[in-house]
Chains A and B, each alone.
Chain A
Amino acid sequence: DIQMTQSPSTLSASVRDRVTITCRASQSISSWLAWYQQKPGKAPKLLIYKASTLESGVPSRFSGSGSGTEFTLTISSLQPDDFATYYCQQYNTYSTTFGQGTQLEIK
């Protein structure tokens, strides 16, 4: 299976900060990467697919980039609603795998 490693595991930031989360794949996955946001007790929500395509309805402060083995999720100006856990997912193979998650906390 392809291993996905996110960094950092925990990130403390303030409202209006710009933050970046990194996701690395153990082998090339082209651009077959998605990002999700999950709040406690809720299902994950799709933010970005194909590495950089914003899902309909997701605010434009979210953006994704990368290809091959290294990817980033950037939030340009943190809002109170953005404090959550973020997961990357590779879907290059049928055996899809997720990163371990990055918990974004209020500083």
Chain B
Amino acid sequence: EVQLLESGGGLVQPGGFLRLSCAASGFTFSSYAMSWVRQAPGKGLEWVSDISGNGGSTYYADSVKGRFTISRDNSKNTLYLQMNSLKAEDTAVYYCAKELGGYFDLWGRGTLVTVSS
């Protein structure tokens, strides 16, 4: 079955860190760029970061640049998002998404990150 499954979300204090994972199955993971997209409670969608299929190119939204790091392990079919210096405004459901020419044709179910003291 073609799917993405995120994990690693939870409650963290401001200034803390968290690492999200996204396990992919059912497709040739290394052939596709992947993204993280987040959605704050009751709000719209915000692209966070993406990474090329071989991991050689990465891009970030200005809101997370310098704090978040995207990476992937193609031998494990897994995408990661290391989130440091977390702020209250990073509170959101984080989705991983498979890219196809810039749009997202497959999404995971999401993992909730709550930044609060």
A94, B104: Cβ atoms under 8 Å?
no
CA distance A55 to B103 in the complex (A): 11
Is B11 among interface residues, defined by CB-CB distance under 8 A?
no
**Given A43-B110, A94-B59, A98-B45: A89 in contact with B103 (beta carbons within 8 A):** yes
Closest-CB distance, A5 to chain B (whole angstroms): 12
Residues of B close to A89: CB separation below 8 A? 45, 103-104
**A90-107, CB < 8 A from B:** 91-92, 94-101
Nearest-neighbor residue (CB-CB) of B33 within chain A: A94
**Given A94-B59, A95-B59: A46 in contact with B44 (beta carbons within 8 A):** no
Nearest-neighbor residue (CB-CB) of A91 within chain B: B102
Closest-CB distance, B70 to chain A (whole angstroms): 13
Q: How large is the interface on A (under 10, 10 to 19, 20 to 34, 35 or more residues)?
A: 20 to 34
Q: Hey, which bits of chain B sit against chain A, CB under 8 A?
A: 44-47, 50, 59, 61, 95, 100-105, 107-110
Contact check: which of B47, B107, B108 meets A98 at CB < 8 Å?
B47
B47, A49: Cβ atoms under 8 Å?
no
CA distance A34 to B61 in the complex (A): 19
Please, what's the 1-or-0 string for A11-52, where 1 marks a CB less than 8 Å from any CB in chain B?
A: 000000000000000000000101010100011111001000
Contact check: which of A43, A55, A87, A97 meets B108 at CB < 8 Å?
A43
B44, A96: Cβ atoms under 8 Å?
no
CA distance A17 to B67 in the complex (A): 46
